Amino acid sequence: MRDRAATYSRGVHADKKLRAFAIGAVSLPAMLVAGAGNAQAETNPTYFASEDGSLEVIYGGGGAALYVTVVDAHNPPGATEVCHYHSVGVMNTPAFPYDRDTTVTGASPSSPVTIIFPPAGGTYSVDVTCLGTGNSASYSPVTF
């Protein structure tokens, strides 16, 4: 009887350990995903413009990505132009450049430039230039 009881006891303990491991294995990724979803990747400022306000750079998004939209009021209706987004780290942020092009049609918002996994708290000097109109805007520091 003791052998059967000891075997049963070991099996119950092993089963409990396995169950605890399985719960942990499922819970950890769920917590990480939930945590990533709650993290907000916001910028300061969320918006900047050229001196005359005709070129606007708008940040949005959250979580693991930021989105940058460009609006060029000098772009004629129906005309499509390429605008170039350039940022580089400043003020103790590694000076790795980030360059992307986007298209703007008329004075409508551009397709978004996506910045994936922006380093939280990083500071950047940002320049946006639209090649069709020559319009540009810059701001430093932009904090992600």
pLDDT tens profile 21-65: 433 433 333 333 333 333 445 789 999 999 999 999 999 987 689
Measure the CA–CA gap between 71 and 49, rounded to whole angstroms: 9
State whether 132 and 62 are in the same domain: yes
State whether 17 and 82 are in the same domain: no
* pLDDT at position 120: 83
E-strand stretches of 38-79: 47-49, 55-62, 65-72
* Domain at 56, CATH number: 2.60.40.10
State whether 51 and 33 are in the same domain: no
Per the prediction, the chain carries an average pLDDT of 80
Q: Which domain holds residue 29?
A: 1-38
State whether 81 and 127 are in the same domain: yes
Reference 87, options 78, 97, 101; nearest CA is 97
Question: What would the mean pLDDT of 57-84 be, rounded to a whole number?
Answer: 94
Question: What are the b/e assignments for 31-46, b being 16+ CB within 10 Å?
Answer: eeeeeeeeeebebeee
Residue with the bigger pLDDT between 143 and 16: it is 143
- Give the chain's domain count: 2
Query: At residue 126, what is the residue type?
Result: V
State whether 122 and 59 are in the same domain: yes
